[in-house]
Amino acid sequence: MSETTPSSSDDRPVILVFAGSLRQGSFNRRLAALACQRATAHGADAQLLELADYPMPLYDGDLEEAEGLPDAVRALKARFVACDGLFIASPEYNGFFTPLLKNTVDWLSRRESADEPPLAAFADKTAALAAASPGGLGGLRGLPHLRVLLSGIGVQVLPKQLAVGGAGDAFADDGSLKDGDQAAALDALVGRLVDTCRKLRRD
Ligand SMILES: Cc1cc2nc3c(=O)[nH]c(=O)nc-3n(C[C@H](O)[C@H](O)[C@H](O)COP(=O)(O)O)c2cc1C
């Protein structure tokens, strides 16, 4: 697990890119990897995260009271605090985003002490959302819920989003999206995220 705190020059916003899936063959992890490449190409300090590197128990208030925040939560939270933006590729489970994402957000939303500003991992961050699914809608139905969750804890979520349907056949062997329109839409979404984060860093 990396516990390094990202740093970047003023013009290179730090973007954390990750998927809401742990699955080895995850389509959303593929989409995240691609988004990370595009963010780098747009001049960001883009960092691909694997949530598997930050294993967290299911949130339990008794556990938190007894032991404080788990090490993985503290390590991941430090990375969120230090970043400017998030790119999240989320699977859709029964019309929702995944419990992995909800549990991660819940832990990261917790304060270690009263001195810590509330929601330090999320306040004033900017996020772009995407999804991939073997289904025809590409996981689109889960994204409004994720948008509401993040918006409610201080994240500015970009209006545009991307859903990649038929994901089993959407990626070429080199990891790129076969469909040119989808590839262009991903590039535009990531470009908007990087540009917005860059402008906000200057404020
Ligand atoms: C519990 C569960 C519920 C699912 N519900 C949906 C759904 O509502 N819509 C959909 O498009 N796919 C649904 N799927 C299929 C997922 O989109 C598919 O498993 C996808 O590959 C998961 O993302 P990943 O490849 O990034 O792991 C569901 C899968 C699981 C395990």
How many whole angstroms from 126 Cα to the centroid of ligand 1? 26
pTM (2 decimals)?
A: 0.95
Average confidence score pLDDT of the chain: 95
Asked whether the beta carbons of 19 and 133 are under 8 A apart, the reply is no
**Domain residue spans in the chain?**
14-202
How much helix, strand and coil, in percent to the nearest 5, is found in the chain?
40, 15, 40
Mean of pLDDT values over 26-49: 98
pLDDT at residue 194 tops 60: yes
- Give the per-residue pLDDT at 111: 97
Mean pLDDT calculated for residue range 129-156: 98
Give dist(CA 22, CA 100) in Å, integer: 8
Domain 14-202, CATH homologous superfamily name and number: Flavodoxin domain (3.40.50.360)
Query: Cβ neighbours of residue 115 under 8 Å, at least 6 residues apart?
Result: none
Q: Indicate which residue's Cα is closest to atom 8 of ligand 1.
A: 94
Pocket test for ligand 1, best of 30, 94, 133, 164 (most atoms within 8 A of CB): 133
- How far apart (Å, rounded) are the C-alpha atoms in residues 32 and 123? 22
Q: pLDDT of 88-100, one tens digit each?
A: 999 999 999 999 9
Q: For residue 11, what pLDDT band results from cuts at 50, 70 and 90?
A: confident
